[in-house]
Chains A and B, each alone.
Chain A
Amino acid sequence: MIFSPLTIVILLFASSIIAYILGKISGKAAGIFSTLVSLVSLVMVIFLLFPGGEMFSFSYNGLMVNSLTVFIAFIPAFLGFLSLLYSISYVKDNFAWYYAFTLMFIGSMIGLAFSWNLLWMYILLELTTITSAILVAHKRDEKSFEAALKYAFQCFFAGFLALIGIVLLYTQTGTLNILELQPLTSQIGLLSTILIMVGFGIKIPFILLHAWLPDAHAEAPSPVSCLLSGAMIKVGAVATFLPLFKFFQLTSFSGFNLAFCWLGVLTMIVGAFMALIQSDVKRLLAYCSVSQMGYVVVGLSLGTPLGVVAGLFHALNHAIAKGLLFLGAGVVEHETGTRNMDKLGGLAKNMPLTAATMIIASLGLAGIPLLNGFNSKWMIYEACIEAGQPLIAIVGMLVSVLTLLYLLKMVHSVFLGLKVSENFKNVSDPSILMVFPLLLLSSLCILFGVIPQLPIQLILVHAAKAFTPSPLPLSFFPIITEIGVWGPTYATLLMVLGLIVGFLLYRFSVKPARKIEFSDKFLPFTGGLTKPPYISIKEAKVPSKPFSFAVEPVSRMFKRFHTGMLNHYFAWIILFFLIFYLLFMFIGGY
């Protein structure tokens, strides 16, 4: 079916007015209406895929429909539907504003995904900023206003830089269409490309441009955090890298690729270390997003077909898992009233579904084999080693262990361990509307872990052609690269067999299990360092901050720079611009 993707955007924006009016009358009605509208938009995005075939790309006035744009637009449409469904029982006040702006937010993200022209991209990027900043301020208290203002100011500032860059670029080349962009060799050309890189890159975010993210993600209502982290930064990443691929010719490996790769590596390291020392669940997840986008940046900036496919696949996996984690954190906050991990604990018995889905997503992100994150990380490592950058792969593996550490810390202090507070006795899994998105997303985590060929073959290999013309030769069973081979489906069969064997051993020998009472309070996840003498566990002094000896020196170093002051963050943006201007002048030899 051929229609302009603009139809979807207009539909979402138009129905936001109806949602606003409905929201003034009844919150439920507005919620149901918005969910239906987002379902329609999801179906329309999927229908755009169908005329398909090899000739599959057509454009309308700077909007482009091809495998890449449909794939990227699918993420906000899908997560938008799920988070609106979840919102019906999550949102308690300000319905009119909430639903109207969520619909507009989804619409602007879908529009951004389809835009194929720098000016369109700029307009839609700013639209995502405006709509989501209003959503971040949903609670209307001091903290959320502060977060929203910081977020909006930083993104506007970077956006103005991008606008200057776009104007400069237009005066130089006279075109803004992505396909017609050429590598620029003059000083002015470089200046404009770096300005565009700063303005668009703030949505990925690159390191030094990431300061808005933790505040905005943590203070937004959870479904909005799910959209911000699950969808917006993926759309932003693709919108950033489409022009960058043309400007710097990233398809043939050069110093520019290496610079972007190490930018990604720094992003993942800083994100991981900052995530380690958070005690707020959603801030932890927000820094985790920064870290995981580092992998996406590494994959995309390698420029090889395998790297691009791996980067896009990791973006998809991260969207699924992180969307789930934010929705799950929302469930926890909704049921217990707090996000502070020091106050939570032992919720796995009360909310088994939430716990199970969040554990699956955490392991998926951390890269436990047979879950989705492992497959994309494996592909990224293989691509790094193929491109002759084993050190990046090694750092990636270390960061993946750090990811396991902080996500396990979250799982431990929220769901496992002993119950710290008696207030959570009556906490239970929420209504089906809130649990259904979690179940759906966690089953996708498992599906893409067991059969990663499904998304790779169906869409990602074609989507990568927008970046690199050469296709990726991939066999269906198993995935074979030039240097390695991994058959997740077989491996799953064998893993299940191993589990069955172990369970049979247990079953044949076990007598009826008996449960014993056990009571002793303790500090959650102490870091393992007790001070001598080791008299008893109650006497043992444990440091209040987890893993202090292990990571705190590094984390504290990074934390010192995160001052929370807007003018410092503006300085970061300018610093980022200067560093890359000088670096690329050096690499390009202008």
Chain B
Amino acid sequence: MLESIGWAIFSLIVYPGLLFSFILGGFYDWVKRKIEARAQSRRGPPWYQSYADFFKLMFKEQIIPVTASRYMILAPFISLASLLLALLIIPFGFVNPPVSFMGDLIVLIYLLAVPSFTVVLAGSSSSSPYGSIGASREISLLIAEELPFVISILSPAIVVGSLNFSEIVNYQLNHTWFLILNPFAAVALFICLIAKLSLRPFDIPEAEQEIVAGPYTEYGGPLYGIFTLSNFVKWVIMGALFSSLFLGGGDGLPSPWNVLWFLVKITLVVIVMALIHVANARFRIDQAFKWYLTGILGLSFAGLILAIIMV
């Protein structure tokens, strides 16, 4: 028991937790920015820019509006901690997740809703009108994407008959990837993940042309740095979630290679997401709502029906 706690703490702080996902997520953030720049015929930032931005933020002065409540300070930490916890549930290249007592999809679904909640808390406690509007957009978006997200994430679980992550990965070893078995659910989940990462066309809560930075408007300095850090972790989680549910995870390769293979898949997912990000214009919130609750919901229901047939 002590050993497993020690292992859990190691995985929270070093691999695949804070340190590792900081490095990897910073890289992915740079990938996104570079692709965006190249698409706009700019040179784009150097490779260390995202890390440099993070460290710059951490050494800035912290400014808090007088009217803000103290929940404004709490929000980024809850976001970071819940994302780190969510990271432990995903089997990271190994067949068994580092913490075997939480390998459950429903827990993951709820843990991934917590960052949205912290964004709402951040926006509404910072007592800025932009923050309030951003917060209510964020939660509207959460409602829109949660139903297809849940359905498409549970479709593989229904086929496998287990909510355990590593069993879903193992199932794909013996059969094939769920991307091929159930493409509907895969596409639906992919589009929901874009909203979770608030990339275009779903970066509505922080639309900089309309509402400055939305919920983050009053943030700056270290608190915003923590939000940036948790955004890095989010990149890694979303990539890893899609790769292990629909792309077969590490594909059961021997030990170092499965991790590398897994990382290659995550990177590919991130690149595709970044390409979608640069190729699209932003939806209005009501358009996004309709889009999710018609097209994507239909897709995910098709995936669910397919899954039920496959059982």
Contact = CB atoms under 8 A, between A and B. Distances in A.
B163 interface: yes
Contact of B88 (A494, A509, A551): A494
Contacts of B261: none
B36 interface: no
A467 interface: no
A62 interface: no
A398 B147 CA distance: 6
Nearest to A534: B210
B13 interface: yes
B139 interface: yes
A483 B163 contact: yes
A210 interface: no
B54 to A, nearest CB: 10
B136 A547 contact: yes
A505 B226 contact: yes
A497 B18 CA distance: 11
Nearest to B68: A518
Contacts of A490: 5, 8, 99, 101-102
Contacts of B63: 513-516
Interface in B98-137: 99-107, 109-111, 113-114, 117, 120-121, 124-125, 127-130, 132-137
Contact of A369 (B71, B82, B103): B82
A362 B121 CA distance: 13
B229 A505 contact: yes
Given A381-B106, A417-B124, A537-B130, A499 B143 contact: no
Interface string B278-296: 0000001110010000000
Contact of A518 (B65, B154, B229): B65
A530 interface: yes
A490 B134 CA distance: 34
B151 A394 contact: yes
Given A515-B64, A520-B129, A526 B110 contact: no
A382 interface: yes
A524 B132 contact: yes
Interface of B: 5, 8-9, 12-13, 18, 58-71, 76-78, 80-82, 84-85, 88, 99-107, 109-111, 113-114, 117, 120-121, 124-125, 127-130, 132-137, 139-140, 142-144, 146-147, 150-151, 154, 157-158, 161-164, 204-205, 209-211, 218, 221-223, 225-226, 229, 284-286, 289, 304
Interface of A: 346, 348-349, 352, 355, 359, 363, 367-369, 374, 378, 381-382, 385, 390-391, 393-394, 397-398, 401-402, 404-405, 408, 411-412, 415-419, 477-478, 483-487, 490-491, 493-499, 501-503, 505-506, 509-511, 513-520, 522, 524-530, 534, 537, 542, 546-547, 549-551
9 contacts: A348-B125, A363-B117, A394-B150, A397-B150, A509-B222, A511-B61, A513-B64, A518-B68, A525-B135
